[in-house]
Amino acid sequence: MSSSNLTSLSSIEAHTLSEARATLLAWYDDHKRDLPWRDIQNPWATWVSEIMLQQTRVSSVLDYFDRFMTRFPTPHALAEAEWDEVAGYWAGLGYYRRAKNLWRGAREVVERHAGEIPDDPEAVRALTGVGAYTAGAILSIAFGQPAPIVDGNVARVFARLYRIEEEIESAPSQRALWSLAEAWAQGERPGDLNQALMELGATICMPKSPTCLICPLHTRCRVALEADPTALPRKRKKRRALPRESYVVFALRSLEDTPRYWVTKRLGEGLLGGLLALPQRAREPNEAREGTPPDASELAEAWMSWLDDTLGSTSPTYATLRECTWTLEVLERAVEHRFTHKRWVWWVTQVSGAALTELLEALSAHDVGRLMSAAELDQAGLGGPSLKSLRALGAPLRARRGSGT
Ligand code: ADE
């Protein structure tokens, strides 16, 4: 699409929009699905439901939501729970990092806001796991503020309604989508309006089989009347498959208030040579398990092999540390890093255990790396995959241009 079309989207006429908004809200009132998190002005319920709904179908969320809210009816209840119990209530929903971030976010609400979810946009955005989408949902649905939401459904509705032909993931398209969402949210009932846009995407303006004839916005849609709606939104072309190398990567995070992370320097030659990196072990190439996380025994073996090589039997604590019980928690999704000729797939594993502090001391004595805070790492030469890995674990590192995909 020409950039002029994107530019013209920013000047949607107010009266056209206000009519379209009224039409959509009327449709929503008649057709919305009856979902347990709807029609309750409870920011905690909104937060929990919207996190559960990310990457997950409504039908899968239904059972989980009620059980979770019964056990953790407030941020305070979740903040007080042990992680293992929280994980149990999430088991089967997938993408556990969502749950962990929600748990951390709930603790922040207790610490910073006396257990009350704030209605100030900046304070909401500052909570762990709350990005632009979730913040928009909490602010609009629970607090009635005119805050925008763009998720996959809204992006599809807008791409068709306004005929956005540029790749939908591109920066100009994203800017256009968010500014459209902003414009749509200015009016009465912004929370319902946002939900109506999502509902339209989920039930009418579907990816492969849109039912345009019964769409309330049909006559306003720049695509439905004259082109094939399923051609939009245009997705980025799949990149050619690069050979991949898989690694198990160990994140050793100190238990201080401001945690530090154990990093080593890569050898001067080779990819990202000289940069700081998380410790790692190459996985044996194995077609059958391509794309699947290492299981407990593979993790334990890799960990012991790394300990042996790094600490070495000359360390006075070697035998003790080797015998300790370690918890190896691997992220469900690998961190990927592309080079021009290959890609690295990193299975990031958080290491914990009662002897963690002792281990970090022993490692320091060996001078094979050092502990660095997020602030120090921001200044240092941390390689792209390590940066992404630590960010995936929630370390507050700045995003960096040029750190790969
Ligand atoms: N998808 C995610 N959140 C939603 C909501 N609140 N309404 C409709 N669809 C959604």
From atom 3 of ligand 1, which residue's Cα is the shortest distance away?
A: 50
Q: Is 199 in the pocket of ligand 1 (CB under 6 A)?
A: yes
Measure the CA–CA gap between 325 and 296, rounded to whole angstroms: 13
Amino acid at 227: A
Dist. CA 54 → ligand 1 center (Å)? 9
The pairs formed by 173-176 with CB atoms below 8 angstroms and a separation of 24 or more are 173/6, 173/233, 174/150, 175/6, 176/6, 176/9, 176/10
> Residue with the nearest Cα to atom 7 of ligand 1?
195
DSSP string, 83-137: HHHHHHHHTTT--HHHHHHHHHHHHHHHHHHTTPPP-SHHHHHTSTT--HHHHHH
Is the CB of 192 inside a 6 Å radius of any atom of ligand 1? no
Q: How many helices (H) and strands (E) does the chain have?
A: 17, 8
The DSSP result for 350-367, as a single string, is EEE-TTHHHHHHHHHHHT
Residue 219 DSSP symbol: G
Q: Beta strands 276-277 and 260-265: pairing type?
A: antiparallel
The residues annotated with a catalytic role in the active site are 50
- Between the alpha carbon of residue 77 and those of residues 81, 155, 209, 262, the distances in Å are 7, 35, 42, 33
Per-residue pLDDT of the chain (405 residues; tens, 9 = 90+): 444 466 556 556 767 899 999 999 999 999 999 999 986 789 999 999 999 999 888 988 998 999 999 999 999 999 999 987 887 788 777 777 789 899 999 999 999 999 999 999 999 999 999 999 999 999 999 999 999 999 999 999 999 999 999 999 999 999 999 999 999 999 999 999 999 999 999 999 999 999 999 999 999 998 987 889 999 999 987 767 888 899 999 999 999 999 999 999 877 666 776 788 999 999 987 766 777 899 999 999 999 999 998 888 778 888 899 899 999 999 989 999 888 888 999 999 999 999 999 999 999 888 788 999 998 988 777 888 999 999 999 998 875 533 333
Distance 347 CA to ligand 1 centre (A): 31
One-letter amino acid at 280 equals Q
Q: Is the peptide bond before 118 cis (omega within 30 degrees of 0)?
A: no
Q: Which atom of ligand 1 is nearest to the CA of 37?
A: 6
Long-range contacts of 353-358 (CB under 8 A, 24+ apart): 353/324, 353/325, 353/326, 353/327, 354/324, 354/325, 355/320, 355/321, 355/324, 356/252, 356/254, 356/255, 357/254, 357/255, 358/317, 358/320, 358/321
Task: Please tell me if the CB atom of residue 135 comes closer than 6 angstroms to any atom of ligand 1.
Answer: no
Q: Report the pLDDT value the prediction gives residue 226, as an integer from 0 to 100.
A: 80
Rounded CA separation 44/65 (Å): 11
- Tokens 């990202």 belong to 272
149 lines ligand 1 (CB under 6 A): no
Site to substitute for ligand 1 among 27, 35, 154, 194, most atoms within 8 A of C-beta = 35
Q: Which of 41, 198, 206 for a ligand 1 pocket mutation test, highest count of atoms within 8 Å of Cβ?
A: 198
CB atoms within 10 A of CB 30: 8
CA nearest to 321, candidates 349, 361, 350, 281:
361
Q: Which atom of ligand 1 is nearest to the CA of 54?
A: 2
Token couple for 334? 């690998």
Residue 185 has a pLDDT of 96
Taking the centre of ligand 1 as the mean of its atom positions, its distance from the CA of residue 332, in whole angstroms, is: 24
pLDDT at 4: 46
Q: Are 37 and 65 in contact (CB under 8 A)?
A: yes
Give the pLDDT confidence score for residue 2 in this predicted structure: 46
Q: Is the CB of 142 under 6 A from ligand 1?
A: no
Test site for ligand 1: of 41, 139, 195, most ligand atoms within 8 A of the Cβ = 195
Question: CB of 42 within 8 A of CB of 143?
Answer: no
